[in-house]
Structure 1
Amino acid sequence: MPRAPNRNSPLVEPPPPPKTRGERIVPRERGGHIVPLAYRIEDAAAAIGISRSTLFEYIKDGRIPSRKIGASTVIRHQDLEAFLDAAPFSAATKDAQRSMR
């Protein structure tokens, strides 16, 4: 729907909706920062605190899914979160949880 013009600007049409299949995916904001939808290998490894070679092992083993976009290999943010969520808690965390009960 066009907006009403004011004295200083002509009638402005809103941009057309994006042409997508299904739900539109947008980056999430956390604390005022935009969270990327996907990371390249170096950034994904740094984000979860492992080396590039370890990350490639996890990709090869199927523990972390990856995708190819052109020549780049990328890992979705949600796949990194799922990998971390599935990882076991450390012994110190387990001990702390037991002491809180």
Structure 2
Amino acid sequence: MTHALDALGNPVRRKILYALRAAPQSVGDIARRFPISRPAVSRHLRVLQEAGLVHAMDEGTRNLYTVRLQGFAPVRDFVDSFWGTALQRLEELSRR
């Protein structure tokens, strides 16, 4: 989960993830949308892939990247773990 949180901490990577939500895209497709080079996009995608947030699929001579939803489960679980405490505090405050 730490890798996923670290990866999500970068605004460019978050924008890449938003772009990939619509459809699988190649490095070139993504690079055309952002003011960064293809090698920079590749580095960001590698970090996202190592964090389990994207998946690369071979399509001929290029890779298409897509969001890997199950990679977000540990992050969601981490965030969700705070709700129990928050709701308990809210309940305690409402009783005062």
Fold shared, TM-score > 0.5 on shorter chain: no
Computing the radius of gyration over CA atoms, which structure comes out larger, 1 or 2? 1
Instruction: Considering Cα pairs closer than 8 Å and 6+ residues apart, tell me whether 1 or 2 has the greater RCO.
Output: 2
Q: Which structure is higher in strand share?
A: 1
* Between structures 1 and 2, the one with greater helix share: 2
